[in-house]
Amino acid sequence: MVLFVMCFLLFLVGLYGVLTRRNLIKIIIALSIMEYSLNLFFILIGYVKGGEIPILKKAGTVPAVVVDPLPQAMILTAIVIGLATTALLLAIAIRLYRKYKTFDVSGINALKG
Amino acid sequence: METALLFILIIMLAGALYALYAKDLLSAVVSYGIVGFALVIAFLLLQAPDLAIVQVVVETISLVIMISVLIISTREDLQETPVAKIKGASYVHLRHMVYVAAALVITGLFLYFFVVSTSMLPVFGEHHTRMATEYIQHGAEKTGAINLVTGIVFDFRGYDTLGEATVLFTAVIGVLAMLRLTGKKEGL
Amino acid sequence: MNGMSLIVKKVTQLMAGIIFLYGVYIMLHGHLTPGGGFAGGTIVAGSFILLIVANGIRVFGLHREEQLSSAAESIAILVFLLLATAGMLMGAMWFFRNYLPHGTPGNIASAGVIPIYNLVVGTEVAAALLTIFLGFVIFKAED
Domain extent listing, chain A: 2-54+65-101
User: Hey, of C132, C137, C138, C140, which one would you mutate to test binding to chain A, going by the most A CBs within 10 A of its CB?
Assistant: C132
pLDDT at position B156 is 84
Between CA C26 and CA B37 the distance in angstroms is: 21
Band (pLDDT 50/70/90 cuts) for residue B28 is: very high
Buried/exposed code over B34-64 (b: 16+ C-beta within 10 A; e: otherwise) = bbbbbbbbbbbbbbbbbbbbbbbbbbbbbbb
The pLDDT value recorded for residue B18 is: 93
Residue A32 distance to chain B (closest CA, Å): 9
Chain B residues with CB under 8 Å of C73 CB are 169, 172
How far does chain C reach from its first CA to its final CA, in angstroms? 12
Q: How confident is the model at residue B86 (pLDDT cuts 50, 70, 90)?
A: low
| Residues in chain B within 8 Å Cβ distance of A96 | none
Q: Contact at 8 Å (CB) between C27 and C118?
A: yes
**Taking CB atoms and an 8 Å limit, are B19 and A47 in contact across chains?**
no
- The pLDDT value recorded for residue B123 is 82
Residue A83 and residue B171 in contact, taking contact as beta carbons nearer than 8 Å: no
CATH (one of 1.10.287.3510, 3.30.420.40, 3.40.50.720, 2.40.50.140) for A2-54+65-101:
1.10.287.3510
Q: Hey, are the CB atoms on C80 and B150 less than 8 Å from each other?
A: no
Instruction: Please check the confidence at residue A79 and state whether its pLDDT lies above 70.
Output: yes
CA nearest to C31, candidates C122, C125, C101, C109: C109
Q: Chain A partners of B125 at a C-beta cutoff of 8 Å?
A: 47-49
Of all residues in chain A, the percent with pLDDT exceeding 70 is 95
d(CA B117, CA A44): 16
pLDDT, residue A88, reads 93
